[in-house]
Amino acid sequence: MLMHEGVEGYGIYWMLLEMLRDCPSYKTFFFPESFAYAMHCNDVEKVTRVCKDYRLFEFDQDDNMWSPWLCEVMEEYDDRKQKLREAGRRGAAHRWSEKGSRDSKAMATLSNGDSEAMAHNVTQPNMTLRDITLPDPSGSPKVGVEYLEKICEVKREGFAPGYIAQVCMQYGMTEATCNFLVERSNGGEVAHPTFKKFNELVHRIQGEKWTPKHPDGFFLKKVFE
């Protein structure tokens, strides 16, 4: 691949790995136009070749792609992280038990209450922020391949609704949320403030390497707060 595609191809390969690392199960739908946009690359054909021509990635019948090497590495990483997390919980439990179960229960109650309040603030449907009534995603189907292909049928220069749909599918968001984001960004206009804020939020999450527990409520609240 390096011989045929040069250093740019090598960079594309590693950026694809970074994208996959942030996806659930380290898989994502094969959408080279969205990949190219996310990595600021104008050569969609080269991105497609890196994905398809060198057996660096595998694909299933639904055109989802993944890297066997990345999955193997992340499996070891996730296993090690889980062991460290369990060790930390055991250590914390031991420390709290020494200080007394009464204080421990009080702190746990406070923590759970705060967590529930935060979750409610993020997941509450029909929130109104700055005179904007956000949609209720409950009951709406999640963004899937057919929806993604449909929203990408209309292509206009300077517009990337497919990028919004790709991100929504990646994080398991609903069609209602995606439709609202596309509509409020003037059809996915890349220069629109809503699109820019959405894109900045996506890059921040990916940079911090975490996934929102309730993505619909999280994205809607953060983009329009």
Burial of 209 (0-12, 13-18, 19+ CB in 10 A): exposed
Q: 66 pLDDT band (50/70/90 cuts)?
A: very high
Q: Closest by alpha carbon to 44, among 60, 55, 59, 33?
A: 33
For 24-65, the pLDDT digits (tens) are 788 888 888 888 888 888 899 999 999 999 999 999 888 889
Q: Where are the domains of the chain?
A: 1-98, 128-224
Rounded CA-CA distance 54/103 in Å is 58
1-98: CATH topology: Arc Repressor Mutant, subunit A (1.10.10)
How much is the average pLDDT of 5-23? 90
Q: Give 148-173 pLDDT, tens digit per residue.
A: 888 877 778 888 888 898 889 888 89
* Residues paired with residue 65 on neighbouring β-strands, in sequence order: 28, 59
CA distance 135 to 120: 15
pLDDT per residue over 114-151, tens digit each?
Answer: 444 444 445 444 555 556 788 888 889 999 888 888 88
Identify whether the C-beta of residue 219 lies closer than 8 Å to the C-beta of residue 173.
yes
pLDDT band at 103 (very low <50, low <70, confident <90, very high): low
Q: State the pTM of this model.
A: 0.53
